[in-house]
Amino acid sequence: MRSNLIAGLDIGTTKTCAVIAELDGDDWRHPQIKILGAGQARTSGIRREIVSDLEETTQAVRNVMKEAELMAGVTVDRVYAGIAGDHVCTRSSLGVVALQDEEITVDDLARVHEVARAVALPPDREMLHAIPQEYVVDHQPGIKDPLGMTGTRLECEVYLVTCASQPASNIRKVVQRAGYRVQELVLEPLAASLAVLNEDEKEVGVALVDLGAGSTDVGVFYEGRIRHIATIRWGGTTLTTDLVRGLSMPFAEAQRAKERFGAASTKLVNHRETVDLGGNGPGSQQRRAVARELIAHVLEERLDEIFGLVRREIDALDLPGPLGAGVVLTGGGAGLEGLVEFGQHVFSAPVRIGVPMNGLTGLADSLARPKFATVAGLVTYAAERFVETGAGTSTLASGLVSRVGSWLKEFF
Ligand SMILES: Nc1ncnc2c1ncn2[C@@H]1O[C@H](COP(=O)(O)OP(=O)(O)OP(=O)(O)O)[C@@H](O)[C@H]1O
Ligand SMILES: [Mg+2]
């Protein structure tokens, strides 16, 4: 594996996708992320973001990796893989260290991070991220970068993200069986946020809402900091199941109806319009006409509940002010007609669709859809880690992570 290659792998409920990119450019601190290849396959071996069928998922991972490698004309051996689900927990933790009243160094930061992240985890949980939020130097709060300041006492608040060990080791297992290795597991909504949000939005406040198939993942940012992560156990599959019940049709047909003719609100469709759902798949002689308003009605009911739950999560945070940049929607569900308008109504805030755009070149066009936000964010995360550790992936792989590298590892 060439040392400037990075790979992201998103194992989702309905699709698995992989992206291979090359880090390019003259300035190694701000490399260009050149997308070389991507692969995608449908999956069903995952239930609510937990690998439920190892064999099927392994096959899917192998297929998408091979497809991406073929397209890229390179091979890779390690991937940054996404993880999500309601087994993910977060909490804040505070670290305090004494200083020699000299300039704060990288070593001091390493010490304070180590103290802050040194929480006892039960054996069935593991640490995903420890994200420094803010520093306090001699009781002066709100410091983002204390390097070079002087003082006698340094405090750091970190946002700890942990997950259950079993889903994490299942992801490692399928990746390993497919012939690769997980370099790091990355929380999916965090990855997606890297691909679609900009710094200004995170500063004025924004919620990333990823409408996947198995769940809806939420990440809230305010004043440049991550404030909240949540998973709502309803997603696109729930919407389809509602149509199955409401319109008495098979799942595959309901899914098609949702994706082709669905709308987020009855207000957005002509109440006289009917759509032809064409029976049970290709070749079927059966035709079936359904009022589009009825499809929209079923979807609207559930979306209202899902967005209502998202809103409750945001309201419960007690932030200093409203989310200035509102809500950014990603995931396959973001393709639903009228979802932006519907979201604006529910959230009383600006809403936009998040399409991966943050600094990708090469074949970036192939990722320009909201459902690829997570995988695009995984390569962005990988690129940031590459820069932070100041070394190629080969150095990391051999375990020669420098002192600097090991504390920077905590940033994302
Ligand atoms: N145009 C569309 N309108 C409405 N829903 C859509 C549309 N296109 C795709 N979807 C839905 O999006 C969902 C798939 O989204 P996505 O690919 O983000 O999920 P996933 O990553 O596989 O799932 P998860 O992240 O929950 O594990 C499916 O439920 C699919 O029906
Ligand atoms: Mg997903």
pLDDT tens digits, 270-312: 989 999 887 655 555 567 889 999 999 999 999 999 999 999 9
Q: Which pLDDT score is estimated for 232?
A: 96
Same domain, 366 and 344: no
Residue 213 falls inside a structural domain: no
Flag whether pLDDT at 375 surpasses 60: yes
Residue 156 falls inside a structural domain: yes
Same domain, 337 and 401: no
Residue 333 CB less than 6 A away from ligand 1: yes
CA nearest to 253, candidates 272, 276, 281: 281
Cα R_g (the chain), whole angstroms:
22
pLDDT confidence band for 402 (50 / 70 / 90): very low
**How many CB atoms lie under 10 A from the CB of residue 85?**
20
Report which ligand 1 atom has the smallest distance to the Cα of 14: 22
Residue 287 falls inside a structural domain: yes
Q: Domain boundary residue among 353, 376, 392?
A: 353
- The span from the CA of 375 to the CA of 74, in Å, is 18
Residue 186 falls inside a structural domain: yes
Flag whether pLDDT at 211 surpasses 80: yes
Same domain, 285 and 303: yes
Q: How many angstroms is it from 395 CA to the middle of ligand 2?
A: 30
Report which ligand 1 atom has the smallest distance to the Cα of 16: 22
Same domain, 158 and 116: yes
Residue 14 CB less than 6 A away from ligand 1: yes
Flag whether pLDDT at 71 surpasses 50: yes
Average pLDDT of the chain is: 90
Looking at the CA of 13, name the nearest ligand. Answer: 1
Same domain, 275 and 146: no
Same domain, 329 and 382: no
Torsion of CA 396, 397, 398, 404, to 10 degrees: 10
Same domain, 36 and 75: yes
Same domain, 174 and 274: no
Run of H or E including 247: helix 236-247
How many angstroms separate the first and last alpha carbons of the chain? 23
Same domain, 14 and 69: yes
Residue 219 falls inside a structural domain: no
**CATH code for position 257:** 3.30.420.40
Q: Which pLDDT score is estimated for 44?
A: 72
**CATH code for position 115:** 3.30.1490.110
Residue 206 falls inside a structural domain: no
Q: Which pLDDT score is estimated for 317?
A: 96
Q: How many angstroms is it from 299 CA to the middle of ligand 1?
A: 14
- Which of these ranges, 141-155, 164-178, 273-287, 328-342, has the smallest mean pLDDT? 273-287
Structural domain harbouring 10: 5-84+165-195+357-408
The protein residue with its alpha carbon nearest to ligand 1, atom 6, reads 333
Q: Domain boundary residue among 122, 148, 164?
A: 164
E runs forming strands in 193-286: 206-211, 216-222, 225-232, 274-276
Which residue has tokens 């970190």?
Answer: 158
Q: How many angstroms is it from 380 CA to the middle of ligand 1?
A: 22
Residue 345 falls inside a structural domain: yes
Flag whether pLDDT at 399 surpasses 50: no
Same domain, 381 and 289: no
Q: Which residues contact 120 (CB under 8 A, 6 or more apart)?
A: none
pLDDT confidence band for 387 (50 / 70 / 90): confident
Residue 223 falls inside a structural domain: no
Q: How many angstroms is it from 18 CA to the middle of ligand 2?
A: 12
Looking at the structure of the chain, the number of domains it has is: 3
Q: How many angstroms is it from 88 CA to the middle of ligand 2?
A: 15
Strand partners, 109: none
Residue 332 CB less than 6 A away from ligand 1: yes
Q: Which pLDDT score is estimated for 159?
A: 96
Same domain, 154 and 291: no
Same domain, 273 and 297: yes
Highest mean pLDDT among 82-86, 207-211, 390-394: 207-211
Q: Which pLDDT score is estimated for 54?
A: 86
